[in-house]
Amino acid sequence: MRNDHYYPADHFINRELSLLQFQRRVLAQAADPTVPLLERLRFLCIVSSNLDEFFEIRVSGIKEQIRVGSRKSGEDGISPTELLERVSREVHAIIARQYQLLNEDILPALEQEGVVFLRRNQWSEAQRAWIRTFFLNEVMPVLTPIGLDPAHPFPRVLNKSLNFAVELEGRDAFGRDSGAAIVQAPRALPRVIRLPREICEHEYGFVFLSSVLHAHVGELFSGMHVLGCYQFRVTRNSDLFLDEEEVKDLRASLKGELQQRQFGGAVRLEVADNCSVDMASFLLQHFHLDGDDLYRAPGIVNLVRLMQIPDWVERADLKYPPFVPGLPKALEKRQQIFAAIRSQDILLHHPFQSFAPVIEMLRAAADDPHVLAIKMTVYRTGTDSVLMEHLARAAQKGKEVTVVLELMARFDEEANITLANRLEEVGAHVVYGVFGYKTHAKLLMVVRREEDGLRHYMHMGTGNYHPRTTRFYTDFGLLTCNKEIGEDVAEVFKQLTGLGKATELRHLWQSPFTLQPKVVAAIGREAEIARGGRRGRILAKMNALLEPETIEALYAASQAGVEIDLIIRGPCALRPGVPGLSDNIRVRSVVGRFLEHHRIFHFHADGEDRMYLSSADWMDRNFFRRIEIAFPVLDPRLKRRVMKEGLRPYLGDNCQAWDMQADGSYRRKNPRSIRRAAQLILLKELAASS
């Protein structure tokens, strides 16, 4: 683990503020008229979903720093109190822009296309009748209105759930006149309801559950006068904490923590913009929040509920065109997968190329009588993953199946516990890695008996074994049976399932042991080469760059004359283009149809062109608190492919690229003549058809 060093605070951009800059870049996709209309709506929802997690994890962390009296939030030197104020201002501005886009641009444009969200004052008599019947039959029976009085305390409010605060006047049958009630919308109820076509003038007519309840809330309080009904939503601290000294059974302890996650400390209150000042103050007081924690929404609270709409609306002209992922040439002849891997290393580039070869490798391993063992790391894979079906079948057939399952994969913990139970029931060995270190490496190893002895077949990737996300995350995967790499992978699995000292691996860089020192050393070698008057060059692509020692190494390399291009999708703490510090460093972010997710590290290395792919970003957590790997691309042909597909198109992108400025802001590239969008280029070159 790295030693503590002092670095000047002005060398670094704050992580949280940089992450909010990323949300602005995503929001710009929702504002882009060249993006299909329903996809613009989807981007708007993605921002809301991202902000939810930002509050659940990042803002809750800042509040905890304030509680314990921390003086600074990070290497940038900003105090937690100042940071929380700056975060609040920035998020309020982002949300204001969100609703402006929704109300003034996207919803009117959708209405012109026959996709309408009807407000209460727009309902026809036929619609009112249908909605009332829907309320009485489908909604009212599952609601439990709770009047606030000494016998009915404020109900426990689930994290991110939809609730209504109701102001009332009058006395009920028991003479009570508390003046306020809470109505919670059960999660079983749909948040968006499609109206029957026969009562709607438009092809697609929708109403919100909130509108339905607002219109009929009086039904819940017979004889009382409703003064106001206001949507509200509370976001809670959702980080999990397990004490290593107290935990005896990780799975059992985690189950207990998950039950409490829904009721962590409140960090944000969202209300409809018509919420009265008195009610907003009452809610803030109840949840122990300040005025800066209040977010008024000029529309529905929680835009994430609109995420389903693009899937419900069958309008291909309002969505990205479909495509069929391609296959590498080595697999186009559809030969047996193990024979194909024996003949040469195979590089897969998702989503432009299919994830099917990985599924086929596991399917073949489950059914092949020559396969003796399968070992796999799983971080996120989904609850209905076909990969897990193949693993289960392999175990049932008597093969040695070992799954290193990361129970602490954030927000996938419950799904992974279910998966662990299922795999153990069919005889697979399930282990949870090393407590205190998340297993984030993406590894699959198949041990097969062949004529010349046992051979290891591997898949190593930059992304999760999740067939759904491989359709919209950009990732590389390498299929190989290289003997030395196989020995490295086997050693990593031995560490994860057993006990023992870490040994030096021949090819893989592994955290928490060698990955960060190897990266820093590789950067340092480029600096030495440049000081010697030769060419120093670094190209790297990842999701985040935050680790200070690595950033300082990049600064030193820049000052030595190394040309450095970094493609960082999300937060970046490094300041590019600062005279005397980072003159030779350029940072850009690419945001488009697909989520940029591959991690690529390329060092010129005096002409050796050392190329690594990895599951790790250059962050403290990935370097020191996770089990990660970076694996080399040894085949010169595949190195050229990684450069051609994973780096050069992104450096040449002038449509979806944003150049980072020294102050942490970003400027979008604008094409002057020929438009070059990396993802569109790759779709054209690699996909089978569109």
Whether residue 11 lies in the annotated active site:
no
State how far the Cα of 19 lies from the Cα of 209, in Å rounded to an integer.
32
State how far the Cα of 163 lies from the Cα of 293, in Å rounded to an integer.
17
Q: Are strands 473-480 and 595-596 parallel, antiparallel or unpaired?
A: parallel
Helices in 433-498 by DSSP H: which ranges? 483-497
State how far the Cα of 117 lies from the Cα of 204, in Å rounded to an integer.
9
Beta-ladder partners of 505? none
Q: Residue 214 annotated as binding?
A: no
Q: Residue 50 annotated as binding?
A: yes
Beta-ladder partners of 438? 626
State how far the Cα of 347 lies from the Cα of 423, in Å rounded to an integer.
29
State how far the Cα of 613 lies from the Cα of 627, in Å rounded to an integer.
15
Estimate the crossing angle of helix 15-31 against helix 37-53, to 10 degrees.
160
State how far the Cα of 6 lies from the Cα of 252, in Å rounded to an integer.
41
Burial (0-12, 13-18, 19+ Cβ within 10 Å), 64 = middle
State how far the Cα of 576 lies from the Cα of 597, in Å rounded to an integer.
21
Q: Are strands 294-297 and 266-272 parallel, antiparallel or unpaired?
A: parallel
Q: Are strands 192-194 and 266-272 parallel, antiparallel or unpaired?
A: unpaired
- Which of 440, 456, 459, 598 is catalytic? The answer is 440
The pair of three-digit structure tokens given for residue 221, joined into one six-digit string: 């309080």
Question: Going by C-beta distance under 8 Å and a sequence separation of 6 or more, which residues neighbour residue 224?
Answer: 168, 169, 170, 172, 218
Helices in 262-367 by DSSP H: which ranges? 277-286, 309-312, 329-332, 337-343, 356-367
Q: Residue 296 annotated as binding?
A: no
Beta-ladder partners of 400? 373
Q: Residue 380 annotated as binding?
A: yes
Q: Residue 650 annotated as binding?
A: no
> What residues are annotated to the active site?
440
Binding site residues, as ranges? Answer: 50, 380, 410, 473, 569, 597
State the binding site for Mg(2+). 380, 410
Binding residues for ATP, by number, are: 50, 473, 569, 597
